[in-house]
Amino acid sequence: MENQFINNKNDILKILKSFPFIDEAYLFGSYAYGKPHQESDIDLCVVVKNGYDTGENFEKINFALFSFLCNRGVAHDLIMLDQKTKEDKKK
């Protein structure tokens, strides 16, 4: 499982980098902690620049990830925040 993620990691990064409005991306969950199991999915949080529609852009990013990972039998979970929301959550 972890090898499968490592093989997909660079491709996932390429997908995320293709969206110029993404400021940051975080891996969380079992893969981030190095303890994936048979039912693990890839958990990602992306932070977009302020002023970008998180709803519309969520669909674009989620579809790109789904198109890539689904063909490899890997599930994913995506969370998206804008910079303001990220800063508000820190408080």
Structural domains in the chain plus CATH codes: 2-90 (3.30.460.10)
Give the start-end residues of each E strand in 1-91. Answer: 22-28, 42-48, 76-82
Sheet holding 22-28, edge to edge: 22-28, 42-48, 76-82
Contact 11, 23 (CB under 8 A): no
Maximum Cα–Cα distance for the chain, whole Å?
39
Could you state, in chain order, the average pLDDT of each consecutive group of 10 residues for the chain (91 residues)?
A: 65 95 94 88 93 88 94 90 85 74
pLDDT given at position 88: 84
Residue 2 CA to residue 56 CA, distance in Å, equals 31
Q: Indicate the DSSP class of residue 12.
A: H
pLDDT given at position 28: 95
Angle between helices 54-70 and 2-17 (to 10 degrees): 140
